[in-house]
Structure 1
Amino acid sequence: MANLESLVIARRLRVPIGDAPAGSHPGQGEVAARQLDAALLSVGFKCSAALLERLADLRVETAIDLGVRVLAAVRELVGDHVQHNAYFLNFPRNVPDTVEFWVGLLSKALLDPVAAARVAQPGPLNLLALPEYGRYQHSYADLLAAHAELIPLAGDRITVLELGGSLEAEARELYFSLAGSEVPLSAEDLAALRSLTLFCDVEPERIPVRENRAVINEQRLVTGRPLLVDTVTDVLRVACGVSGGDVTLATPTRFRAFRRAERRTLIQALDAVASPAKLGDVKRHPEQWKRLGERLHPHEYPGFPRAAQVFEVARGDRKARSFDSRVEAALASGRTDDAVDLLGNAPGALLRRLDHLLRISASPDAVLGATEKAAADASGRVLLSLREHLQNRLAPAAGRVFANRNGRAWVTSDTRTPIDEDVVSRAMAILDEEIARRLPDLGKLIIDPEVLDVALPLSGKAVAPGLGMLPRGSLSSVDGELLRFFVYWRQAERRTDYDLSALMLDASYDNLEHVSWTNYGNGFAEYSGDLTDATDGASEFINIRLAEATKPIIIPQVNIYSGEAFDEAAEAFFGFMIREAAQDGMPFEPRTVRMKSDLRGSGRVALPLAFLLDKEGDWQVKWLHLYLKGSPHFNQVEGNRISTSLLVRSIVERDYLRVHYLVDLLERRGAVGEHTTYIGLQAPADLPEGTKVYTPSTLHELIPA
């Protein structure tokens, strides 16, 4: 229950209290409530007036216990649950010149007989093996003593925690939001959904994303209820999920032994959906099907012959032609009209191939006619994704960016033939009309201007939940004078060295500079020092004085030099802080943190975001959520500078579909109802009663069905 409570607080910024018993007299818990509010302010949070009033009426011990849990949850959300020491005691002051630093370490080593003997060994000198390198030379208490307290200023982040209902009601609302999402969820949100299914006994009427449906089906299988499936792959996802594997099917699963009742449920569900037209899907994951067949023993169920055919196809004993293969055959033989007719039976597939069809078809009008029919039946996410794609076809791109579900990205030149501008415009008009038709009536709109440049969350896979997170392609303003990146990691089993670095580019994405463990600073940035062991956790920082920056593009990155991958470490997260020049304080100050999120993904180089100086002289952040493959060992900023600059340029110059697109459609249509809807980064306190609120954590609910 405590984990569920923390989940609600972190995801919704609401404190579930419900019918917690009041004290024997009004205001009994007021002192505890005020103490909690003061403690929250130290990490950049605050209780709303309603929450403060409710806490004050609780029994003292109840208010104190709840306050401890709330504070722990938000401290972890902002990254303040660990101690952030820095290699250089006085960082960002007195950071030595890089050469000066190495000479000093070498001199100290030569004065130590044991270290001197190691340094004098034949062969190249290994500077990283010097005794004082890569390890804290002072305690966290020493760091505290060397830095003054943070000077609070009006620009510090204040995130308001709202009063929630009962834990049951808040958990159910979060469950419905995740389960009914129109966009795929991140791995963390899928895990949250799995926890919520154990707690919530009511299912949403509609579960559009198959991975979400698989998670819910896991619980249905365990409890002996029929499965919600309509393809053979849906059944495979369920088997993977209950075996502790990957419901996205991106990685192989080692299937567990199934109980007899579970085997029968899976076989029965498989038999119900294994029509000849759907058997072709088996070829997408043949090895997984073979392993599953070894666990399900389909020969024991002669009453379900179509289920047995699935495993025959997997083994190659039965032929099954997939829908995609028939489409490809038609396209390969030049029968574009036949391919369009086939795709008319699968609206989503037609729209995903629209660019290709328009390039090769001799009759764009016929393709657009099929597009109009398909648009009426395709999902809202597919319509929006295609709309974004088409608007980027009207301008030449620096390159085509490809990113997988884990954020692993690569860029290549765009060699596609152009599509006539009039054809593209007509296709976009078809999509605009259908999207506008599906948008719900939101009544009177109250819009925070800051949210208009937030990209629509068309997929949540690459975005790990955290504080201040926005979808890839979003733009937000940077409102301070000092920018500070931070990374924290703690190794699980073996020595692990992550390196925080920053790549600086000019407006043409050239003339590269960097700050890293090989270059401790330049005229406007300082590096906190390299740590090479994180047994007890390690933190690195880069401080940027924005007013003095001579490069308009700054790209922080985290390189895995050696050791565990991001998703293997016990803990790993990145974030950034914003301060004013007049502020003092520790290298890490939670109330100045604007963004913090876990690092994960299969890449060895993380590119969370980029900072850009616009034409008006204001700094903005563009959200990337990307990972480069990198090398198995010894990644550093100098080695990936070219690929990084190409990738970031492609992301920065891409025209993402943002919130203002939906707002324009809604305002063009006009309000119908009397209710009010607010869309913004954080809800203000003076909204009309009953206002429906959409913030970054719930923007996916705006994606039409």
Structure 2
Amino acid sequence: MDAMYTATREVLLRRQGLVFVAPGRAAASERHLQAIELELAQLGYVVSRRLRQRLATLAPDALALQARFVATALAAQVGGNVRYTPLFRRFPEDVPKDTSELYLRKVLCHFLQTEGQPCVFCRRVGTTHVLSPCMHVVCDHCFDGANYSACPVCEHHVDRESPFFKPGRFLERSLPREKVRFKLLDLGEDLPAAARGLFESFCARKQVMSPIDAGDLGTLVNEFGEQVLAWLPDAIAVRENVARIFGALLRKCNAPATFAVARAHLATATDVLRTLAVYSDADPSLQGTSEKRWVEQPPGGSLAGGFAAKLKQVFGGASTLPKAKMVALTIHKYRFKVAPLRRPLRRAVLAHLETMHPDGLIEDMLRHRSYWQWLGQFLHPHEFAERFPNVARAFAVVRKKAPDGTPAPRFVGFHAAIEAAARAGDAAAMIERLRARPGELGRRFDHALRVAGADAGAQDVVISAFVAAAPRLQNPLLLTLHGHLPTRGRPAAVRVFWPKGQVTRGTSAPDRRAPLAPRALAAAGEAVEHELLRRLADKPGFETCVLDEGLRAVIVPFNERTASRAAVSLPRGSRVALPAGEVVRLFLHWCEPEDGHTTDIDLSVAFYDDKWEYLGVCSYYQLRFDGPDGQPIAQSSGDLRSGPFPDGAAEFVDVHRERARARGIRYAVMVVNNYAGMAFSRLERAWAGMMLRADLGGKQFDARKVELKFDLQGDNGVFMPLVLDVAESTMHWLDVYSTGQLAMNNVATSNGAITKICPEMIDYFASGARISMFELALLHAAARGRQVSVRGAGEARGFARMANESAESFLRRIRAGEGASPAVLPAASGPPVFAALVRGDLELPAGSVCYALFREQVIAPIAASDLLS
């Protein structure tokens, strides 16, 4: 296999299902090709005829190398690149029913069992073994060594060469018998063109990229280097994405020359700051970093470093003084480790800042005062004060004084003036200021209307300013307003906030906002919808559009910066229907860092009724949650308390949805707890996910049946990725964290957060405050299509656009279902179509544009974020 652009090949394989293989001059044997197909089938993939024909031209060594690359990349995509060995190796069989009795045995064994003595339980002699390195003495008659993968007492990994673990050291299992939806792999022909197309789609994004998108962008820039400069568009909409591109280029290419190109895209001081952050391998979101420090806390007092020392000074070091204890305190810092800034690059940065409006420069730098105070130590602006006086003045304001100690002048910025007008109840003054910044006007439209109150004249000023600004608002903001405005005629049950950060926490408050006037909502809503349709009509048209009704439950992506890295890009707040009959098998894998630090991550499921009253749990302290008939509603594979490098550890929980529903359970919440205190972000690797299993025998982990796989991230202690609604057979994807405790997090300690965050999130997304992917796709179809087919449960309805029918009229008619007729889905040999599907189970014509939540047969699908451009 060609060694060039290996990481880019992996990106395109993972995202688009394309395998780039140069034609060979050999003839591979049918046996080798079938072996490759079998290996890929075990991961849930099949190859197209074109790809198989190309593989058949490779020599044996080249074919083996290509197959190994593809299989390794795809296995990592679904989490199949590690061995999953739970504590109870025969799981789901032979899981102890009585966790309390098991715990008692472990405690007594820990304190009473000694080497060479009869077993404290069965009194047998010669059945005990000393495990290393924990040194616990265990009896192979009382603990089944063929079922355990770690020490039965402390549940830490130990040396498996001990006779206790024999026979059945690894208990090899075959693949279960399952019905599988295979995903198609196809032949890629032009790698640079595919890479350029993906890069250009990133540049066209109208919102901040998700972590996985940002990582893939960095891969393209790193491997193609200066070639990327020729791919740059005239404008890049999102400032943070600009920083990611040019920050990566500054690291890879000649810094001054690259910065000369970047200047055209860096409009503000914050753009420069973000770019230097990426150049320094830091996060461009500028949300700061947290670290834990140990400080003294006096007995019964507040945190105070050195408090005990001060007491000794006063009282002469009296021995009767109580001893201060050390406690962990989280410190949040707004700075990053700055990469070397050579003199030519420093001059280029300062020269570019000097070209900005002086007041705008100061205001922008004050938004991130701590960062600029820190960065100034590396830029040395006052060395060039005569050459760049505006920059020197800005740094003096930021530092609150000039280098000679002279106090800096007081500065009142744009946002301070807006807040002052709002406090004064002057909506007209707010609008007068906001007209200069349409995006800010759009974001503050709701606020300005509330300031206007019942004054019809003030309302008219706000409405007219908004309508005039609508053509200059970005698509994501228009779509946010498209969902938000219809909900503002009445108070919401709860307000949910989405602050910037590395992960999303469940932040909410009562809705104390006054409802907005119906005429204001109608006028603004009409302006938003008209502007969206106008922009989408400028995109390439299609004779046929195909939409899935199921996308009504999928939310348009937002706040992507905090989205978990996942194999399926499921937007936060979405619901996915689950097939009846299959058992949900949740899985967790984590690996401790190579430096030897240890931790314990726990997988649990908490159960609630339809009023969110707690009903039970399946976790490390209750391995089985049984129904009245004694059959398990849920059972755990056991609690592994260490995940040593390099193999890590794994846990599973099976949830039998039919039994749960019969027990009166409505919700089952997946909870991943940081029990030992190490942040998720410090682990060597950590992920979790969900399988749907009909056959619980065979291998515990089956890559073919993985529906979701997502990484654990951030510094928080409790992760609530999803909720199963067993009554409606759906899965709610929440992807939300809670701070939790410093350590010893479990469902019991997190129950308050679970019963607050989960129902609030579910109700918020059900309210329609965030529009669905179906609504977004419908806007595209009404503006760009002539024939629209809507696939529902067992039928497809067709709508034909009439002569001279406007996009607004066509949209209203499709929404109302007027003029529908049975639809015929497009043939694979026909003209290109636009499609938005839950599952990519259609064979689409060449040249089609398709979004598919689950890719399956679709090759090179667009991302959900691409529909926002």
**Same fold, TM-score > 0.5, yes or no:** yes
> Is 1:32 matched with 2:32?
yes
Q: Decide which of 414, 422, 429 is 1:338's aligned counterpart.
A: 429
Whole-angstrom CA distance in 2 between matches of 1:608 and 1:34: 38
What is residue 484 of structure 2 aligned with on the other side?
A: 389
Q: Which residue of 1 aligns with 2:535?
A: 438
Q: What SS is found at the alignment partner of 2:624?
A: coil
Partner of 1:126: none
Moved more, 47-56 or 522-531: 47-56
Equivalent residue in structure 2 for 1:401, among 489, 496, 518? 496
Give the Cα separation in 2 of the matches to 1:110 and 1:622.
Answer: 45
Say if 1:502 and 1:353 are closer, same or farther in 2 by CA, change over 3 A: same
Q: What are the equivalent positions in structure 2 for 1:530-609 lying under 5 Å apart?
A: 530-536=639-645, 537-549=648-660, 550=663, 551-580=665-694, 582-609=695-722
| Residue 426 of structure 1, CA deviation | 3.5
Instruction: Name which of 566, 569, 574 aligns with 1:474.
Output: 574
The answer to whether residue 249 in structure 2 is matched with residue 239 in structure 1 is no
- Partners of 2:488 and 2:618 in 1: CA distance: 36
1:311 aligns with 2:336: no
Could you tell me which of 832, 835, 838 is aligned with 1:678? 835
Q: Name structure 2 gaps, 5 residues minimum.
A: 121-134, 137-149, 289-334, 401-407, 627-632, 788-830, 854-860
Change (3 A) 1:142 1:703: farther
Q: List aligned pairs for 1:122-161, cutoff 5 A.
A: 132-136=153-157, 146=171, 148-154=173-179, 156-161=180-185
After TM superposition, the structure 1 stretch with the greater mean CA deviation from structure 2, 680-689 or 433-442, is 680-689
1:699 corresponding residue in structure 2: 863
> Matched residues in 1 for 2:396 and 2:175: separation?
68
Instruction: Give the 5 Å matches for 1:73-92.
Output: 73-92=73-92
CA deviations 1:36-68 (Å, max 9, x no partner) are 221011121222232222222333322221110
Per the TM alignment, residue 672 of structure 1 is displaced from its structure 2 partner at its CA by: 5.5
Counterpart of 1:528 in structure 2 is 637
Cα deviation per residue 1:237-271 (whole Å; 9 max; x = unaligned)? 12222122221111221223311111121112111
Q: Which has the higher contact order (CA 8 A, sep 6+)?
A: 1
The reply to whether residue 465 of structure 1 matches residue 562 of structure 2 is no
- Among 274, 283, 289, the alignment partner of 2:372 is 289
Q: CA deviation at 1:191?
A: 3.0
Counting matched residue pairs gives 687
Q: Secondary structure at the match of 1:300?
A: helix
Name the SS for the 2:737 alignment partner: strand
Q: 2:607 touches 2:667 (CA, 8 Å); kept in 1?
A: yes
* Distance of aligned partners of 1:667 and 1:10 in 2 relative to their CA distance in 1, 3 Å threshold: closer
1-structure distance, mates of 2:343, 2:243: 20
Identity %: 27
Q: Does the aligned pair in 2 maintain the 1:10–1:73 contact within 8 Å? A: yes
Amino acid corresponding to residue 12 of structure 1 in structure 2: Q
Q: Could you report, residue by residue, the CA deviation over 1:358-396 in whole angstroms, capped at 9, with x for unpaired residues?
A: 222123333222221121101101111222222343565
Structure 1 counterpart of 2:232: 204
Measured in 2, the distance between the counterparts of 1:35 and 1:471 equals 36
Q: Could you tell me how far apart the structure 2 residues matched to 1:29 and 1:173 are?
A: 35
CA distance in 2, matches of 1:384, 1:442: 21
Contact 1:477 1:621 in 2 (8 A): yes
Native 8 Å contact 1:278 1:322 kept in 2: no
Contact 1:453 1:658 in 2 (8 A): yes
Q: Partner letter of residue 306 of structure 1?
A: N
- Give the 3-state SS of the residue equivalent to 1:105 in structure 2: helix
Using a 3 Å threshold, how does the CA distance of structure 1 residues 675 and 163 change in structure 2: closer, same or farther? same
Cα deviation per residue 1:677-699 (whole Å; 9 max; x = unaligned)? Answer: 22224544621122122234733
CA distance in 2, matches of 1:143, 1:358: 71
Contact 1:495 1:563 in 2 (8 A): no
The CA deviation at 1:700 is 3.6
Q: How much does 1:442 deviate? A: 4.3
Contact 1:282 1:289 in 2 (8 A): yes
Distance 1:606 1:468, change over 3 A: same
1:143/1:639 CA distance change after superposition, 3 Å: farther
> Could you tell me whether the CA contact under 8 Å between 2:617 and 2:747 is conserved in 1?
yes
- In structure 2, the residue matched to 1:375 is 470
Q: TM-score, normalised on structure 2?
A: 0.75
Provide, for residues 185-209 of structure 1, a one-character-per-residue CA deviation record: whole Å limited to 9, x for no partner: 1234323322312333133313211
Seen in structure 2, the aligned counterparts of structure 1 residues 391 and 107 have a Cα distance that, compared at 3 Å, is: same
SS at match of 2:785: coil
1:594-615 deviation digits (Å, cap 9, x = unpaired) = 11111102321111111113xx
Q: Which shifted more, 313-322 or 568-577?
A: 313-322
Task: State the partner residue of 1:195.
Answer: 219
Q: How does 1:209-228 map to 2 (within 5 A)?
A: 209-219=238-248, 221=250, 222-223=253-254, 224-225=257-258, 226=260, 227=262, 228=265
Worse-matched range after superposition: 325-334 or 293-302: 293-302
Once the 2 structures are TM-superposed, how far is the Cα of residue 345 of structure 1 from its aligned partner?
1.3
The code of the aligned residue for 2:760 comes to S
CA contact under 8 A between 1:182 and 1:704: conserved in structure 2? yes
Amino acid corresponding to residue 425 of structure 2 in structure 1: G
Structure 2 equivalent of residue 123 of structure 1: none
- 2:294 aligned partner: none
Equivalent residue letter for 1:112:
Q
C-alpha contact (below 8 Å) 1:229/1:273 kept by paired residues = no
CA distance in 1, matches of 2:176, 2:728: 24
**Inter-CA distance 597–254: structure 2 relative to 1 (3 Å threshold):** same
Aligned-partner SS, 1:326: helix
Note if contact 1:491-1:564 (Cα within 8 Å) is conserved in structure 2.
no
Of 655, 665, 668, which aligns to 2:779? 665
Tell whether the 8 Å contact from 2:832 to 2:846 is kept in structure 1 after alignment: no
User: Could you list the per-position Cα deviations for residues 568-613 of structure 1 after superposition, in whole angstroms to 9, with x for gaps in the alignment?
Assistant: 1000001011011x45222211111111111102321111111113
C-alpha distance in 2 between matches for 1:259 and 1:132: 57
| Closer/same/farther in 2, CA of residues 571 and 325 from structure 1, 3 Å limit | same
Shift of 1:109: 3.6
Say if 1:29 and 1:320 are closer, same or farther in 2 by CA, change over 3 A. farther
Bigger Cα displacement from structure 2, 58-67 vs 27-36 = 27-36
C-alpha displacement at 1:624, in angstroms? 0.9
Residues 92 and 696 of structure 2 are in contact (CA less than 8 Å); yes or no, is this contact kept in structure 1?
no
Are the counterparts in 2 of residues 21 and 59 from structure 1 also a CA contact under 8 Å? no
CA contact (8 A) 2:358 2:394 kept: no
Checking the alignment, whether the CA contact within 8 Å between 2:247 and 2:277 is kept in structure 1 is no
Post-superposition Cα deviations, 1:63-99, rounded to whole Å, max 9, x if no partner, equal: 2211100000011111111111111222122221211
What residue is the counterpart of 2:417 in the other structure?
326
The correspondence of residues 58-73 of structure 1 with structure 2, limited to 5 A, is 58-73=58-73
Structure 2 counterpart of 1:173: 197
RMSD: 2.7
User: Distance in 2 between the 1:437 and 1:679 partners?
Assistant: 20
**Aligned mates of 1:534, 1:397 — CA distance in 2:** 44
Q: Per the alignment, in what secondary structure is the counterpart of residue 465 of structure 1? A: coil
Q: Distance in 2 between matches of 1:600 and 1:365?
A: 46
Contact kept? 1:181, 1:700, Cα under 8 Å: no
Gaps of 5+ in 1: 120-128
The 3 A distance-change label for structure 1 pair 22 and 207 is same
Q: Distance in 1 between matches of 2:286 and 2:213?
A: 17
Residue aligned with 1:256, SS: coil
Amino acid aligned to 2:352: A
Shift of the 639–583 alpha-carbon distance from structure 1 to 2, 3 Å rule, reads: closer
Q: Would the alpha carbon gap of residues 29 and 173 (structure 1) be closer, same or farther in structure 2, given more than 3 Å must change? A: farther
- The residue number in structure 2 matching 1:513 is 616
The alpha-carbon distance between structure 1 residues 308 and 164, as it changes in their structure 2 partners (threshold 3 A), is same
CA distance in 1, matches of 2:712, 2:838: 23
Residue 591 (structure 2) pairs with residue 490 (structure 1): yes
Q: What is the CA–CA distance in structure 1 between the aligned matches of 2:833 and 2:151, rounded to whole Å?
A: 64
